[in-house]
Amino acid sequence: MESGEAVSLLGEQGLAGLCQFKSYRRRWFLLAAVCLLNCSNAMLWLTFAPVADKTAAYFHISLEMVNWLSIAYLLISIPFGLVATWVLDSLGLRCAVILSAWLNMIGSIIRVFSVLKFLNVGSQSYWYLFTGQCLCALAQPLIIFSPTKLAALWFPDHQRATANTIASMSNPLGILIANVLSPALVPEGKRIPLMLGVYAVPAVTACALATVGIHEKVPPTPPSASATTSTSQPFLAGLKMLLRNKPYIILAVCFGGGIGMFTCFSALLEQILCEKGYSNEFAGLNGALFTVCGLLGAFLLGLYVDRTRKFIESTKICFCLSALASIIFAVTSRFRNQAVMLAITSSLFGFFGFAIYPIAMELAVECSYPVGEGTSTGLIFVASQIEGVILMILLQALTVRVSEDPSSTCALDQDGALDWTTPVLVLAGLCSAMACFYVIFFHTDYKRLCAETNNGDLAKAEDTASADVPEA
């Protein structure tokens, strides 16, 4: 749909309620509930990655089977991602959040069953773990797609990017907590049951908050003009519009690839570093720096974009700088005793890479308006999961078995450790290629902002005309 049609649609649906916009304080409770849920789901996804070797030893499985606990998230969310976009844009935000909260909680509890001795699950313990991960994976698309919808429905236009940033960045906050907490809780394999119990607590809390505290599908009065048309397009019609939207397709491919790369980096970081003699604790620290700096970068960029509306310029600059950081990390990680340099490059990779995430989600809505937010962000997420699965499988296939090295900190199986030199260089090369493609080919109008601006000008004109009419 052209921007002129978007303006017309907004004018038709939003003019009647012009100057009736209102923001409600309870939007902050909704934001808090979505943040906790998003954070919990990310913690459950990355529970095992920082202690992959100890998990493999405890459950008597291979590292590849441990990696499948992360890959399950990617695979399941591909088909269910399309369902989640329909749920969010057709049934509404409340239904999506509560459904995801229950799936997340039930999955976390089933994971605990895998280590309860009185159940005597024996060799089936891994499959309890895997089933729980799959239920949590079903919740992920519903949670990940919610921030843009929440920001559009409940927050005024000058707070949208910030609200979306806060809600979206709770996911990497969960990754941060998992990177720090898992190694701290599991200094040895026998502490795995404690870790699973601790990770279930936020999931249960988030489910209680969402179920008891979220009562409304939409606010009684919208906070902005665009909120009145937030779900203006039917799901299938919106999907067809997106597939014909060239700027959106470029954004989906490039940004989806970026998310896939960050997924691989987070899930495989411990395995990449342990072969060169770095401990699980150091890998967890790198993951924490990666995420903390990413949260800081996203927060600062969100404030900047809320003020300047420079979505495209911001994402292009950050994409290029994150590609540069990925190259430095790929080279540095292949040498021993480079802890300081690795910590710095992980921090820079996170600062510039994560900063793109919420802004790109807002940009997806801007370039695809008036398609519903759930559909426009959901399709990008599905693309990212497809690319993430391909990358995870490709990177593992490119690893090489190496003989036991005295300096290695990996908990080795009988086949030895894995050398990740080729995979990390390929990852850096792909990141650079994606950044170049995005910078050269992505251009778009800000359709939602344009529609709101034109609608405001139209309202002022009508008010002026009404004031000029003489009284009878």
- Which pLDDT value is given to residue 232? 54
Average pLDDT over residues 321-347: 91
pLDDT tens by residue, 259-315: 888 888 877 887 888 877 888 778 878 888 888 898 888 888 888 887 888 889 999
- Which pLDDT value is given to residue 144? 83
pLDDT tens by residue, 139-180: 988 888 788 788 878 888 777 778 888 888 788 788 878 878
CA distance 61 to 461: 70
First to last CA, the chain: 44
pLDDT band at residue 128 under the 50/70/90 scheme: confident
CA distance 14 to 238: 19
- Which pLDDT value is given to residue 201? 94
pLDDT band at residue 416 under the 50/70/90 scheme: low
Average pLDDT over residues 350-355: 88
CB 452 within 8 A of CB 10: yes
| 152-189 b/e (C-beta count within 10 Å ≥ 16 → b) | bbbbbbebbbbbbbbbbbbbbbbbbbbbbbbbebbeee
Of the two residues 179 and 206, the one the predictor is more confident about is 206
CA distance 250 to 80: 22
- Which pLDDT value is given to residue 11? 47
pLDDT band at residue 469 under the 50/70/90 scheme: very low
Question: Looking up tokens 């009419």, which residue turns up?
Answer: 469
pLDDT band at residue 10 under the 50/70/90 scheme: very low
- Whether 5 shows a pLDDT value over 70: the answer reads no
- Whether 4 shows a pLDDT value over 60: the answer reads no
For the ranges 150-154, 198-202, 414-418, 461-465, the maximum mean pLDDT occurs at 198-202
Average pLDDT over residues 37-65: 86
CA distance 248 to 253: 9
- Which pLDDT value is given to residue 413? 52
Q: Residue 419 has which token pair?
A: 């050398």
pLDDT tens by residue, 174-205: 887 887 888 888 888 788 889 999 999 999 99
- Which pLDDT value is given to residue 457? 55
Q: What is the 3-state secondary structure (H, E, C) of the chain?
A: CCHHHHHHHHHHHHHHHCCCCCCCCCHHHHHHHHHHHHHHHHHHHCCCHHHHHHHHHHHCCCHHHHHHHHHHHHHHHHHHHHHHHHHHHHHCHHHHHHHHHHHHHHHHHHHHHCCCHHHCCHHHHHHHHHHHHHHHHHHHHHHHHHHHHHHHHHCCHHHHHHHHHHHHHHHHHHHHHHHHHHHHHCCCHHHHHHHHHHHHHHHHHHHHHHHHHCCCCCCCCCCCCHHHHCCCCCHHHHHHHHHCCHHHHHHHHHHHHHHHHHHHHHHHHHHHHHCCCCCHHHHHHHHHHHHHHHHHHHHHHHHHHHHHCCHHHHHHHHHHHHHHHHHHHHHHCCCCCCHHHHHHHHHHHHHHHHHHHHHHHHHHHHHHCCCCHHHHHHHHHHHHHHHHHHHHHHHHHCCEEECCCCCCCCCCCCCCEEECHHHHHHHHHHHHHHHHHHHHHCCCCCHHHHHHHHHHHHHHHHHHHHHHCCCC
pTM: 0.70
Average pLDDT over residues 54-64: 83
CB 271 within 8 A of CB 63: yes
pLDDT tens by residue, 366-396: 888 878 777 787 888 888 888 888 888 898 8
pLDDT tens by residue, 99-114: 999 999 999 999 998 8
- Whether 8 shows a pLDDT value over 60: the answer reads no
Q: Is the peptide bond before 219 cis (omega within 30 degrees of 0)?
A: no
CA distance 58 to 53: 9
pLDDT band at residue 13 under the 50/70/90 scheme: very low
Q: What is the mean pLDDT of the chain?
A: 81
- Whether 323 shows a pLDDT value over 90: the answer reads yes
- Which pLDDT value is given to residue 204? 94
pLDDT band at residue 120 under the 50/70/90 scheme: low
Question: Looking up tokens 């069953």, which residue turns up?
Answer: 113
Residue-level length of the chain: 472
- Whether 1 shows a pLDDT value over 50: the answer reads no
CB 235 within 8 A of CB 90: yes
- Whether 328 shows a pLDDT value over 90: the answer reads yes
β partners of residue 400: 419
- Whether 319 shows a pLDDT value over 80: the answer reads yes
- Whether 126 shows a pLDDT value over 90: the answer reads no
- Which pLDDT value is given to residue 439? 94
Average pLDDT over residues 84-98: 84
Q: What is the dihedral of CA 436, 439, 441, 446, to 10 degrees?
A: 150
Closest-CA residue to 133 (of 84, 67, 184) = 67
Question: What percentage of the chain carries pLDDT values higher than 70?
Answer: 86
